[in-house]
Amino acid sequence: MARSRTSRRVTGREEALRIVARGVVAPLYYGELVQGALARAFALRPSAGGAEAPAAPGDRWVVVAPGTGPSGEGRTEVDIEAADHAEGLLLRGEAGSVRAVLRFENAALGAARFGGVVTLEVSRAAAGAGSAHRTRAETLAVADAQGTRHWSFLDVDVDAEQVVQRLTVVSDLTTDPAAPLWIDVVANSPGRLDAARGGAILSSGSYMATGVTGFLNARIALQVEADRGWTIAVDNDQDDEIDFVVRASADEARALAR
């Protein structure tokens, strides 16, 4: 039976916050988690004769981590596509670059379990400088205590100054397969991640989320304020009239973004 595609409007504050937190900000955090997973793979990879051989294109490693509870064992497969002093880059904060494909099977990253394929590019121009990274994925699934979210497209590009140069996301935010809520997110102006606070907390920038294929008949605009709080304007029916505005403090935004 074909699944119905009833248009949905944003009903209130909690739904607006959930869409922004899980559909707009969480993908930035996932880029940080994937980078950490690649660094762990480098730290745990098999060595040749007891010596650490430099990573090279064509290298493939598998990292298996015992799971607990019903989620079971997690597995991460890493394929190196390009590498230049990648060990120093990821493990010691030195200059270098790496491009790798990571295949996650029930792999634990942070408080979530990842499934799917992610291409990650990381580079650093000089020791001690910030690192730039680009995260791309299709058909990525992330499961946590709130349910499972799916991405049909994810493209996040963060430069060495921690400015979000690109954020393009198509994601399903619901846990009920009978009532999908798909959104399309694009960055209106570059945002900056506050690296000093850890994770992927936005300190600036604006983003727009709209419905895809009629599932969500709304336009949601996120503005990150100078105090790192959020202002969210909701335009139901996408008629260029703001129906309501939601504000979240910096502390609330930080808690929601995890």
Q: Enter the tokens of residue 26.
A: 């969480």
Report DSSP letters for 116-162, one per residue.
EEEEEEEEESSTTS--EEEEEEEEEEEEETTEEEEEEEEEEEE-TT-
Distance in angstroms (rounded) separating the CA atoms of residues 210 and 240: 12
pTM of the model: 0.84
Asked whether residue 5 is domain-assigned, the answer is: no
* 204 closest CA partner among 215, 193, 214, 188: 193
Q: Return the pLDDT at 213.
A: 60
Asked whether residue 65 is domain-assigned, the answer is: yes
Task: Determine contact, residues 156/135, Cβ cutoff 8 Å.
Answer: yes
Lowest mean pLDDT among 23-37, 98-112, 163-177, 189-203: 189-203
Distance in angstroms (rounded) separating the CA atoms of residues 76 and 155: 20
Q: Is the pLDDT of residue 178 over 70?
A: no
Average pLDDT over residues 232-249: 94
Give the structural domain span for 215. Answer: 13-46+54-256
Instruction: Please give the helix or strand (H or E) that residue 183 lies within, else none.
Output: strand 182-189
Average pLDDT over residues 183-205: 76
Q: State the total domains in the chain.
A: 1
Distance from the first to the final alpha carbon of the chain: 36
Asked whether residue 191 is domain-assigned, the answer is: yes
Distance in angstroms (rounded) separating the CA atoms of residues 249 and 230: 7
Task: Determine contact, residues 104/112, Cβ cutoff 8 Å.
Answer: no
Asked whether residue 127 is domain-assigned, the answer is: yes
* 10 closest CA partner among 254, 248, 238: 238
Distance in angstroms (rounded) separating the CA atoms of residues 24 and 171: 9
For the chain, the residue count is: 258
DSSP 3-state helix, strand, coil percentages of the chain (rounded to 5)? 20, 45, 35
SS3 (DSSP) at 33: helix
Q: Return the pLDDT at 135.
A: 94
Write out pLDDT tens, residues 128-170. Answer: 888 999 999 988 998 887 778 888 899 999 999 888 888 898 9
Helices (H), the chain: 13-20, 26-44, 86-92, 250-256
pLDDT category of residue 9 using cuts at 50, 70 and 90: confident
Write out pLDDT tens, residues 70-119. Answer: 455 788 999 999 999 999 999 999 999 999 999 999 998 888 899 999 99
Write out pLDDT tens, residues 116-139. Answer: 999 999 999 999 888 999 999 988
Asked whether residue 8 is domain-assigned, the answer is: no
Task: Determine contact, residues 170/182, Cβ cutoff 8 Å.
Answer: yes
Q: Is the pLDDT of residue 212 over 60?
A: yes
CB atoms within 10 A of CB 12: 10
Asked whether residue 211 is domain-assigned, the answer is: yes
CB atoms within 10 A of CB 189: 11
Asked whether residue 3 is domain-assigned, the answer is: no
- For 31, residues 6+ apart whose C-beta sits below 8 A from its C-beta are 120, 133, 135, 156, 158, 200
Alpha carbons within 13 angstroms on the beta-carbon side of residue 45 total 25
Q: Return the pLDDT at 215.
A: 75
Q: Is the pLDDT of residue 191 over 90?
A: no
Average pLDDT over residues 239-257: 90
